[in-house]
Chain A
Amino acid sequence: MAKLIQTEEETLLSEAAHGFLSKSAPVSRLREMRDAGKRNDPELWQEMAAAGWAGVLVPETAEGSDMGHAAAHVLARELGRNLTVSPFLSTAVMAATLLRQFSDEATIAKLKQIAEGAITYAMAIDENAKFSQERVELTAEKRGNGYILNGKKRFVVDGCEADRILVLANSNEGLCLFDLTNKSKGMTQETLAMIDSRDAADLIFDDVEVSGESLLGEVGAGYELLKPALEAGQAALAAETTGLAEAAFALTTDYLKERKQFGITIGSFQALQHRAAHLWCEIELTHSAVLNAGRILDESPEQATLAVSVAKARATDTAQKSVQEGVQMHGGIGMTDAFDMGFYMKRARVAAEWLGDYGYHAGQVAQLRGF
């Protein structure tokens, strides 16, 4: 396996991403968007596409930059540090990983549009309050050459603004994946007022007629097709969440060095020093798990489940510790909306649930480790 240290290319990519995002899309940008009631930033996405980010997992045959999963994680980590709002995970990571399993002309054209930033995707998988790709009740009923979809998808991230939707449905002959436009007749988007101020929706399918061409692959192959995309998304989300944890931790250590009480900086109190030091250790371990997942996804993706679940479980846990300790060690100011820690906390909670929470991924680990 390639080494668990950043390559020179990855370091350059990370520096470039840091330079760009800290200027164009820092946390203050999310605050502005929230205050203006905006959930997406199409101009920013165009710039990211121009830099090759939208095509990070699009093959070169479809004019992508095809930099791989580890590179996608470098970008996701910077997006997490800055709490940047973008369709990166849904579109550039999950939809691209899913669609690149096909090499027909129509799919290549879509991948090309993803890389160009011309279309965005959302993944419609969950139907309950907890992530599960197995409990699918949305039905796909064969009619003529096409299908009729009925049911409801919940917590569809980017579900309002995405141009296209990848929907997991249950036919009589097993799970199926459909690729359709988000404006399909019979579909309703119920906008969710999310705590992290980002785009998510419940999607209602009421006799939605779709053509036979919108079915991806074979009937019954839905889960197999979805698996690599989900794992890519889970790992990239772990990278994003690790970046979030690091940024929240940096805010906290800066504050420990500057805030004075009892006439001295509070960072000289051992009670706080040891909590901060412990948190740093947690972040180190999580960072290793994310690096490992990236390497395995690039080298042997069919064996990545354990690595991905360790990364997602660790990142979920570490980010939540980082924001909770962050608020507590900041004291009163940590509770105010004027301070950024709250934005990190809310995003950490949403990221914890999306694509499987700690319990889901620890369960995967336990199963693979013979529990």
Chain B
Amino acid sequence: MGEVDAGQDHAEFRRDVREWLEENCPPEMRDGAAGEDSICWGGSSWTFTCTAQKDWLERCVERGFTVPTWPKAYGGAGLNRDEDKILKQEMQAIGARSPLDSFGIWMLGPALLKFGSEEQKLHFLPPIARGEIRWCQGYSEPGAGSDLAGVQTHAADQGDTWLVNGQKIWTSYADRADWIFALLRTDREAKKHLGISFVLMDMRSPGITTRPIQLISGASPFCETFFENVEVPKTQVVGTINRGWDVAKYLLTHEREMISNGGNVMGSGRALGAVLSDSDTGQSDPVLRGDAMRAEVDSLALEMTLERYKDQAEGGQGVGDASAMLKYMGTELNKQRLELVMAADGADALTWGETPASSWLRTKANSIEGGTSEVMLSIISRRILNLPG
């Protein structure tokens, strides 16, 4: 397949993509799987589940298809929006798995593309595209949760380097990550939003340690991350020193869209209708049925809203602050759905194993991670409704 220019005829592009997928996507990677267990996260410690997963990643890397819309110089395929959509449609048509998913692709990449220097882009983006470096996000701290701009992990100025001391918490997969992007306090005198820098750090740096946190679901997706006299070159600041909050806000919009778009929101196993029909309680309990009907109506309306926002984004209107609405409504609804599933299954759901119990418990984090529901409502109130304060 030749160069992909923006002006190239779409029919031709579609045919090329289809042929390429036919030749290159291994049969094992065409099962349409999208759950936590089928994701390829990449990184130096990554163990491929099978050779097909490895082959699929390598072939996509070669074509820039792990990050299709990034420029070629940074490891992408330089596709425009229409071409990207065609690629996704064709992948969906054969049930192709995503070759690589990561916080580098979803969050850091877009922030680097917008705020990074040319050297930083050339240095950090290609390893993300190739799945060689796995990133984690160092935002929250024990004293800075919803009040994220209150971060205290300190970077002391030592001339060419920073000396970092402090603690992060809720760092997703920190124990498996190669690098971390973090918000650090670089000016303790300035107003809190104006003394923060966005800094990249190698997790192997002396002085960084991690400790997984076990959640009520039994899983440990989050860690505590400790920094003790960690030396970081100043070239690893993204954007302007002390203006890291601008980068952080931009990245948070991407994170919220990701959470509301991803499996965390809609893909909680079986449809409610099937759950109710399969269970005796679901058949006979009119109150449960009523609640489930309401949740179903709302789920459908949320799906239509996701569709509408995607159409808006394609038309060039960004989702912007409305991502707070998707995050809030999506996660609250997901919690409600899992409550209904638990109730429908009754005592059958009360054991560990092949039951909805751990998913039900996992959903409780959805309306906290990436900004709580209450923070989302405050964003809507201030930035969309322009209410005072």
Contacts of B389 in A (CB 8 A): 267-268, 273
- Measured between C-beta atoms, what is the minimum distance from A363 to chain B in Å? 7
Q: B329–A285 contact, CB under 8 A? A: yes
Known contacts A288-B308, A363-B293; A371 and B276 CB within 8 A of each other = yes
Q: A369–B381 contact, CB under 8 A? A: no
Contacts of A289 in B (CB 8 A): 300-301, 304
Contacts of A135 in B (CB 8 A): none
Complex Cα gap A313–B296 (Å): 11
Q: B308–A253 contact, CB under 8 A? A: no
Q: Mask for B358-387, Cβ within 8 A of A = 1, else 0?
A: 000000000000000010111011101111
Tell me if A134 counts as interface (CB < 8 A to partner B): no
Complex Cα gap A363–B311 (Å): 29
Interface pairs (10), CB distance under 8 Å: A5-B315, A267-B387, A273-B377, A277-B376, A289-B300, A314-B297, A314-B298, A362-B293, A371-B272, A371-B276
Complex Cα gap A276–B317 (Å): 24
- Measured between C-beta atoms, what is the minimum distance from A226 to chain B in Å? 24
Complex Cα gap A314–B322 (Å): 19
Q: A3–B388 contact, CB under 8 A? A: no
Tell me if B235 counts as interface (CB < 8 A to partner A): no
Contact with A5, one of B293, B302, B308, B374 (Cβ below 8 angstroms): B308
Q: B293–A366 contact, CB under 8 A? A: yes
Contacts of A119 in B (CB 8 A): none
List residues 321-355 of chain A with CB under 8 A from any CB of chain B: none
Tell me if A278 counts as interface (CB < 8 A to partner B): yes
Known contacts A257-B387, A310-B297, A369-B273; A4 and B378 CB within 8 A of each other = no
List residues 247-291 of chain B with CB under 8 A from any CB of chain A: 271-274, 276-277, 289-290
Q: B277–A253 contact, CB under 8 A? A: no
Q: A288–B305 contact, CB under 8 A? A: yes
- Measured between C-beta atoms, what is the minimum distance from A15 to chain B in Å? 18
Contacts of B230 in A (CB 8 A): none
Tell me if A300 counts as interface (CB < 8 A to partner B): no
Tell me if A291 counts as interface (CB < 8 A to partner B): yes
Which of A253, A286, A288 has the most chain B CB atoms inside 10 A of its CB? A288
Known contacts A280-B325, A281-B325, A362-B294; A310 and B388 CB within 8 A of each other = no
Contacts of A306 in B (CB 8 A): 300
- Measured between C-beta atoms, what is the minimum distance from A193 to chain B in Å? 33
Q: A280–B271 contact, CB under 8 A? A: no
Query: Secondary structure at chain B's binding surface: helix, strand, loop or mixed?
Result: helix
Q: Write the residues of chain A forming the contact surface with B, with a CB cutoff of 8 angstroms.
A: 3-5, 253, 256-257, 264-265, 267-268, 270, 273-274, 276-278, 280-281, 284-286, 288-289, 291-292, 306, 310, 313-314, 361-363, 365-366, 369-371
Contacts of B300 in A (CB 8 A): 289, 306, 310, 365
Known: A277-B377, A362-B297. 15 other contacts (CB 8 A): A4-B307, A4-B311, A267-B389, A277-B376, A277-B378, A280-B380, A288-B305, A289-B301, A292-B307, A314-B298, A314-B301, A365-B296, A366-B292, A370-B273, A371-B276
Q: B289–A370 contact, CB under 8 A? A: no
Complex Cα gap A161–B286 (Å): 42
Q: B305–A284 contact, CB under 8 A? A: yes
Contacts of A277 in B (CB 8 A): 376-378, 380-381, 384-385
Q: A253–B305 contact, CB under 8 A? A: no
Contacts of A280 in B (CB 8 A): 325, 380, 384-385
Size of the B side of the interface (Cβ < 8 Å), in residues, is 43
Contacts of A281 in B (CB 8 A): 325, 328-329, 380
Q: Write the residues of chain B forming the contact surface with A, with a CB cutoff of 8 angstroms.
A: 271-274, 276-277, 289-290, 292-294, 296-298, 300-302, 304-305, 307-308, 311-312, 314-315, 317, 322, 325, 328-329, 374, 376-378, 380-382, 384-389
Q: A366–B307 contact, CB under 8 A? A: no
Contact with A288, one of B301, B376, B378 (Cβ below 8 angstroms): B301
Contact with A274, one of B274, B315, B381, B386 (Cβ below 8 angstroms): B381
Complex Cα gap A291–B274 (Å): 27
Complex Cα gap A351–B132 (Å): 58
Complex Cα gap A306–B177 (Å): 45
Complex Cα gap A280–B317 (Å): 19
Q: B304–A288 contact, CB under 8 A? A: yes
Contact with A310, one of B290, B301, B329, B380 (Cβ below 8 angstroms): B301
Q: A273–B378 contact, CB under 8 A? A: yes
Q: A291–B304 contact, CB under 8 A? A: yes
Complex Cα gap A314–B29 (Å): 39
